Amino acid sequence: MALSEREQNRYHRQMIFPDWGEEAQLRLKNSRVLIAGAGGLGSPVAIYLAVAGVGTIRICDCGTLELSNLNRQILHDDSRIGKNKAVSAQETLSRLNPEITVEPVTDELSQTNVQAAVGHVDLIVDCLDNFETRQLLNSYAVKNRIPMVHAGVYGMRGQLTFIQSPETPCLWCIHSGTIPKVLFPIVGATAGVIGCLEALEAIKYLSGIGTNLRGRLLIWDGFTMEFTELPQKKMPDCPVCGGIK
């Protein structure tokens, strides 16, 4: 299946990368991605994956848009207050790029529905705000051998890594357990920085361009504008990925 003339035109500026061309663009078009969360991180991730031409974006969020979300959740606007965030995301993304398919999932991810909610995807992008659901997705990803881009933001700091079990440590190896959900300060640009890095990791993986942050945890401190990288190791007795070869 070839790209249409409109698609050739739309994606021209990225297709002229030496290793990109029509082939990598078709790989993006035939990709199916789950974005878990349509909030601060999910907004830039979804926007950049949509405009890059990722063919099918499944976006999952059970939350309702509130006025206090709008300092960072740029997928949404004032007119969408009270609306489900996944549905609002679909409206924005379809307007940005009518050539892709967007599937909103409005259920809360749980042990019982994770299979149906995520389904068969090529990549999961973690844009969640809590470690409980992250660990649920991590287990699903490890079990089904689906790679996952993990990121988190807190205040003016953020972290990012690329997980592909069994080659890399899983999220449990990197951060076992959960952290209680608390209200923390955040400015939209912080989620923007980390979300854009997540989007780039996803685009590179799906198109087959460049290298990913495998086994490397990137930490960003917005106060001092410093990036640090911490190598990560697999936990031999990890309850999630231990024993998986």
Interface with Zn ion (CB under 5 A): 170, 172-173, 238, 240-241
The single-letter DSSP state of residue 122 is: S
CB nearer to Zn ion: give 197 or 240: 240
Q: Which two tokens stand for residue 37?
A: 């969360």
Given the DSSP bridges, would you call strands 216-221 and 157-163 parallel, antiparallel or unpaired?
antiparallel
Taking the C-alpha atoms of residue 75 and residue 57, their distance in angstroms, rounded to an integer, is 14
Q: Which is nearer to Zn ion, 25 or 139 (CB)?
A: 139
Q: Among residues 21 and 243, whose Cβ is nearest to Zn ion?
A: 243
Which residue, 20 or 172, has its beta carbon nearer to Zn ion? 172
Residue 56 structure tokens: 């099918």
Q: How far is the CB of 84 from Zn ion (least distance, A)?
A: 33
Identify the DSSP state of 168.
S
- DSSP bridge partners of 186: 155
With b for 16 or more beta-carbon neighbours within 10 A and e for fewer, the 48-83 pattern comes to: bbbbbbbbbbbbbbbbebeeebeebbbbbeeebeee
CB of 81 to Zn ion, least distance (A): 39
Q: How far is the CB of 50 from Zn ion (least distance, A)?
A: 31
CB of 235 to Zn ion, least distance (A): 5
Minimum Å distance from CB 226 to Zn ion?
Answer: 28
Q: How far is the CB of 128 from Zn ion (least distance, A)?
A: 18
Q: Return d(Cα 127, Cα 223) in angstroms, integer.
A: 22
Residue 10 or 134: which CB sits closer to Zn ion?
A: 134
DSSP state of 33: E
Residue nearest to Zn ion (CB): 238
For the four alpha carbons of 191, 192, 195 and 201, in that order, the dihedral sign comes to: negative
Q: Which is nearer to Zn ion, 179 or 189 (CB)?
A: 179
